[in-house]
């Protein structure tokens, strides 16, 4: 069966043709779910059809409703509210719909489109560990990739590691000055944490030098630029670009520490990539594009040797692409990376999952690529998302006031364990099973809390609230799934077999089938909006409907075998749909709790 909206659209078109002798033009048939305060399943808006019927809204609605009730076996009744025709679908429609959904093991997966979509996310700097902001980025990137795959696209998950630049040199220089040969092994620290400590240390050293210069009478802004340690860092960057062996050796060693740390955090989050790019390998391609742009007259060189793109005619300003010392900037390597990716994969869409503070950057990236002659620049989409804030305010990496990703994951695990023990949901589980459950619940809580929010919105993260077993949370959905699995296990032990038997569905059961039937359209809608939040909230609505149904309805103790088996089939279909939806969010659902 079609979903209810599509079914009624097609049926209404037949009714109009039969009643008025005219095939309705596209767009004239407008349907929507019936509002809860009215009786019905689908509402036809008749106002667009009045020029065809040449009758008043109520008369038109009544004629169409009567025709459908008489001629369509799946329409059992109707009522008219002004220009709105509320239609009730018959029980046989919902039984057939349930049977078709239950028979599709991949229900929710849309047909292949042939389109290739590349999604870049994470994109960390190798001067600090991942923090809460990175977690939102990684979870959004992974979930959008899963969502677009469910939409039938071929999806490539890529990461661009920002492994070169002045910020990297700052950590390196601070380690040279203060590290005394410290390593992850000697300190017992994860490599990314160790390097991050030296990035903070550089900022401390810089502040001290600036204060000394200001005390000597220098203007604070001038002191910031002329502090000796900053000059050294800039000199180190120039040496790096020239391939200085000592600088490159230190860079490779410290970056290696960071990569090992990142990999550990990615594994804990359940994140992986199809391809990893490194800025150190792509910035030269960007510099080559800059040279091409100079030859074409798209870019220009200033007297000091720096290279710029004038975007004032586009309503923007002038954008630096090469500094006067010849070193590149973020934009330079993004140009080179974009071209390399398109050459390799010929993508149909390139999605950058990057925070909204970079909106201008990606506007400029598309403009410059277009000016360089790449028509595929229009396929670039910046998935701009809001920042994550804490009750105490924003985070600052240079000052070491961020919420570290690893610390947060540890805290979430501890909270999940404490909450589960308090609720006593661990009966009969071994220590290993409990540990796996705590991991599953903590990640489910974290991921769901972040992903249920519209990506474009700034969000406030509260770890304690996220782990609640009630309300719109990951653990609530996880517990719902475990409850369904428990019922199905008991049914199997008793020899019961879930099946669509044609038994009459209760109104609540019809409402659940209607929610299930809308799932593929919800996938499509979420994919177009690049919004995992739509899937998260769909899963919550479905879980909530099940819990209300379970509270009010006999399942295992139902004496009518046909009714019982059909109810088992219904809840098994709910569980499977929850698994599919939560898999898009990267969340595992336990079978026991």
User: 3-state secondary structure string, 535-581?
Assistant: HHHHHHHHHHHHHHHHHHCCCCCCCCHHHHHHHHHHHHHHHHHHHHH
- Cβ-count burial of 101 within 10 angstroms (0-12 exposed, 13-18 middle, 19+ buried)? buried
Q: How far is CA 384 from the centre of its chain?
A: 11
Lowest mean pLDDT among 34-38, 89-93, 392-396, 577-581: 392-396
Q: Whose CA is closest to 94, among 566, 476, 561, 590?
A: 566
> To which H or E segment does residue 61 belong?
helix 57-71
Q: Whose CA is closest to 4, among 107, 104, 88?
A: 88
pLDDT > 80? residue 178: yes
Lowest mean pLDDT among 242-251, 318-327, 375-384: 318-327
Give the ranges where 216-347 is alpha helix by DSSP (H): 220-226, 228-241, 245-269, 279-296, 330-345
pLDDT > 50? residue 397: no
The tokens describing 392, both together, are 């105490």
> To which H or E segment does residue 275 belong?
strand 275-278
Pairing verdict, β 154-161 and 275-278: parallel
pLDDT > 60? residue 9: yes
Please report, to the nearest 10 degrees, the dihedral formed by the alpha carbons of residues 552, 555, 561, 563 taken in order. 50
Question: What region, left, alpha or beta, does residue 108 occupy, with left being phi > 0 and alpha being psi -120 to 50 degrees?
Answer: left
121-389: CATH topology is Rossmann fold (3.40.50)
Q: Whose CA is closest to 353, among 94, 565, 155?
A: 155
CATH architecture of 4-89: 2-Layer Sandwich (3.30)
Fold match between domain 4-89 and domain 121-389: no
Percent of the chain with pLDDT over 70: 98
Query: How does pLDDT run across 543-578, given as a tens digit for each residue?
Result: 999 999 999 999 999 999 999 999 999 999 999 999
pLDDT mean over 293-315: 96
Query: How does pLDDT run across 460-515, given as a tens digit for each residue?
Result: 887 778 888 788 999 999 999 999 999 999 999 999 999 999 999 999 999 999 99
Residue 432: pLDDT band (50, 70, 90) is: very high
Phi, psi of 515 (to 5 degrees): -65, -45
Residues 543, 480 contacting (CB under 8 angstroms): yes
pLDDT > 80? residue 179: yes
Residue 396: pLDDT band (50, 70, 90) is: very low
pLDDT > 90? residue 399: no
Q: Measure CA of the first residue to CA of the last residue in the chain; give whole Å.
A: 36
> To which H or E segment does residue 476 belong?
helix 474-493
Q: What are the residue boundaries of the structural domains of the chain, listed by start?
A: 4-89, 121-389, 405-584
CATH of domain 405-584: 1.10.730.10
């Amino acid at each position: 069966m079609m979903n209810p909206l599509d079914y009624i659209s097609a049926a209404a078109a037949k009714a109009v043709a039969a009643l008025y002798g005219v095939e309705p033009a596209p767009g004239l048939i407008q349907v929507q779910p019936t509002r809860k305060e009215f009786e019905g399943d689908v509402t036809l808006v008749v106002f667009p059809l009045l020029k065809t019927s040449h009758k008043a809204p109520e008369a038109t609605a009544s004629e169409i409703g009567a025709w459908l009730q008489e001629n369509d076996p799946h329409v059992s009744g109707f009522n008219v509210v002004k220009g709105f025709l509320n239609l009730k679908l018959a029980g046989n429609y919902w039984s057939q719909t349930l049977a078709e959904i239950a028979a599709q093991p991949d229900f929710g997966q849309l047909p292949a489109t042939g389109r290739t979509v590349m999604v870049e996310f994470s994109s960390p700097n190798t001067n600090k560990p991942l923090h809460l902001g990175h977690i939102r980025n990684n979870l959004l990137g992974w979930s959008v990739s899963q969502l677009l795959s469910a939409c039938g696209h071929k999806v490539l998950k890529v990461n661009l590691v920002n492994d070169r630049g002045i910020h990297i040199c700052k950590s390196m220089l601070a380690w040279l000055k203060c590290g005394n040969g410290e390593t992850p092994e000697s300190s017992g620290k994860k490599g990314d944490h160790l390097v991050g400590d030296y990035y903070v240390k550089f900022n401390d050293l810089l502040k001290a030098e600036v204060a000394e210069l200001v005390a000597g009478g220098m203007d604070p802004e001038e002191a910031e630029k002329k502090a000796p340690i900053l000059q050294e860092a800039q000199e180190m960057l120039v040496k790096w670009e020239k391939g200085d062996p000592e600088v490159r050796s230190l860079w490779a060693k410290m970056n290696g520490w960071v990569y090992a740390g990142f990999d550990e955090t990615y594994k804990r989050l359940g994140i992986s990539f199809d391809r990893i790019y490194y800025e150190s390998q792509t910035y030269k391609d960007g510099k080559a594009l800059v040279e091409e742009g100079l030859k074409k007259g798209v870019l220009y060189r200033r007297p000091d040797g720096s290279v710029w793109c004038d975007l004032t005619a586009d309503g923007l300003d002038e954008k630096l692409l090469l500094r006067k010392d010849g070193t590149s900037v973020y934009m330079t390597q993004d140009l080179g990376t974009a071209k390399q990716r398109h050459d390799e994969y010929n993508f149909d869409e390139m999605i950058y999952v990057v925070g909204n503070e970079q909106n201008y950057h990606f506007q400029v990236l598309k403009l410059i690529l277009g000016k360089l002659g790449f028509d595929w620049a229009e396929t670039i989409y910046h998935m701009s998302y809001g920042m994550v804030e804490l009750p105490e305010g924003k985070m600052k990496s240079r000052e070491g006031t961020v919420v570290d990703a690893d610390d947060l994951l540890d805290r979430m695990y501890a909270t999940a364990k404490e909450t589960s023990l308090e609720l006593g949901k661990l009966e009969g589980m071994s220590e290993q099973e409990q540990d796996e459950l705590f991991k599953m619940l903590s990640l489910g809580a974290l991921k769901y809390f972040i992903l249920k929010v519209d990506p474009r919105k700034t969000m406030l993260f509260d770890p304690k609230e996220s782990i609640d077993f009630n309300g719109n949370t990951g653990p609530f959905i996880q517990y719902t799934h475990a409850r369904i699995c428990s019922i199905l296990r008991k049914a199997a032990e008793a020899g019961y077999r879930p099946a669509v038997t044609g038994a009459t569905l209760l109104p609540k059961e019809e409402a659940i089938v209607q929610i299930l039937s809308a799932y593929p359209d919800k996938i499509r809608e979420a994919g177009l909006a690049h919004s995992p939040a739509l899937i998260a909230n769909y899963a919550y609505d479905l879980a909530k409907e099940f819990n209300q149904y379970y509270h009010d309805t006999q399942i295992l103790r139902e004496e009518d075998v046909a009714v019982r088996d059909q109810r088992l089939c219904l809840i098994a279909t709910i569980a499977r749909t929850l698994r599919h939806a939560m898999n898009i969010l990267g969340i595992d659902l336990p079978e026991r709790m």
